[in-house]
Amino acid sequence: MHTEDEINKIHAEFISKLERHYGKYDSNTNKFESTSNSKIARDLFYSDSQFSRLINNTASEGELTRALRNVQRLLDVNELRGKVKKLGEKPDDSLFSNKKYLFGIGLLLLGCILTTYMITRSNETIDQTEEPSEETRYEMLRWGFENNYVKPYVRLKELPEDCYYPCYKYQGKWKLKEEYKIPFFRERNGFHYVAKEVVMYARCMDERDDRGESFEGYEYQKHEIWYDKREVPIDSFLTKDANPKLISSYMNSNFEDDPNYVKIAYVHTFFKTEFSIDGKEVQRSGKAIGRDIEFVPQDVLEKEAVSAKLLNELKSETNSIAKNLLDDFSKPITCNPTMAPNVDFNQIKEGDVLSFDCQFSTGRFLVDYNKSYVFTDQYISTFCR
């Protein structure tokens, strides 16, 4: 009885906190007056069925406790969002109109959203098939750079009189130019990683006193994990010379057309990259903020010629990637510097490419690969004069 009372108490507090944001709750219909349950579920990064268990008080005590913390984070996020909006409406001579201060709060807000999302996803079981949409994930990052309140970019009028501020023309949206694939080792051979999509927002790191020679990018990455039924060893895909590279037949292969390969999951990653401009060269480093796994639906996987036991093993091994956020398997050990798209940074433009040759460590192998960004939406298209 004690446990039941505790659960009821947590559920009541859960409802109470939701009412603060979504209006009065009708216990007869299990609905809130201003927002649908599906919308609330998306706000909290739950599936409809998960939220239904929470709202109907059929979830476990642990689930309710985590949900309570998530609602509190949602309230905190909205409080910060309100502060950002008010600061954005203050006159230019206000202390709080300082762009760095606004963006600092904006990053804190984005961090709260990502933390809520990642903690929620990290507590899901590996058999969960109802996932937030790709749009929901991307919207979290897009909001931090495409809104009327947070001002992340250095503006033209803020540049020094001599116009030496190389990063200003790199600001804006970049995307992955071409997909790439990498074989990687977990507890068995057979896993392959295919980079499908990257959207990166780049901004000058004006908080650094380096005359605009560094900028950072916040990336949303969508990648795929495939399994080779033959479990061909990794070195079979590498050249045999002193510095092995991925063979061309592997790079040009299409897993979708090969019955030996089974798509297991999608990997959604938030990634922070730092770039430094050194004359004609640009250097890259980075780390993951967080990631989660979206498994291919069970009914689709069951159609593949793979046993249920093996599927569960593959899911378990794949899920460990998302659970261990500190082990960033998408981060390269090294990336060689690349040549700047133009020696004159004032001439950087949409359509330019930043192409990095990198190395990835998997097991005892170092695998070379190329990651290229193409500039799709430039914040400042004019020149500093």
DSSP code for 366: E
In angstroms, rounded to a whole number, what is the distance separating the alpha carbons of residues 41 and 322?
21
Confidence at residue 123, expressed as pLDDT on a 0 to 100 scale: 47
The C-alpha angle with vertex 178 and arms to 177 and 180, in degrees rounded to 5, equals 140
Alpha helices in the chain (DSSP H): 2-22, 37-43, 48-55, 61-88, 99-122, 134-143, 248-251, 298-301, 308-323
User: If you search the block for the tokens 């649908």, which residue do you land on?
Assistant: 36
**Which residues have C-beta within 8 Å of that of residue 300, sequence separation ≥ 6?**
none
Pairing of strands 191-204, 261-278: unpaired
User: Which of helix, strand or coil describes residue 121?
Assistant: helix
Q: Would the CA dihedral through 111, 113, 117, 122 be positive or negative?
A: positive
User: Which of helix, strand or coil describes residue 24?
Assistant: coil
Confidence at residue 86, expressed as pLDDT on a 0 to 100 scale: 58
User: If you search the block for the tokens 């037949």, which residue do you land on?
Assistant: 249
In angstroms, rounded to a whole number, what is the distance separating the alpha carbons of residues 270 and 292?
9
User: What is the DSSP secondary-structure string of 193-222?
Assistant: EEEEEEEEEEEE-TTSSSTT-EEEEEEEEE
Residue 303, burial from CB neighbour count under 10 angstroms (0-12, 13-18, 19+) = exposed
**Which residues have C-beta within 8 Å of that of residue 354, sequence separation ≥ 6?**
174, 275, 282, 284, 338, 341, 372, 373, 375
pLDDT in tens, 243-295: 778 899 999 999 999 999 999 999 888 888 999 999 899 999 888 777 778 88
Say whether pTM exceeds 0.75.
no
Positions in the chain whose pLDDT score sits under 50: 1, 91-97, 119, 122-133, 325-333
pLDDT in tens, 36-83: 888 888 777 677 888 888 999 888 888 888 888 778 777 766 666 565
User: If you search the block for the tokens 């058999």, which residue do you land on?
Assistant: 127
User: What is the DSSP secondary-structure string of 125-188?
Assistant: -TT------HHHHHHHHHHTTSSSS---SPPGGGS-TT---GGGGG-EEEEESS-EEEEE-SSS
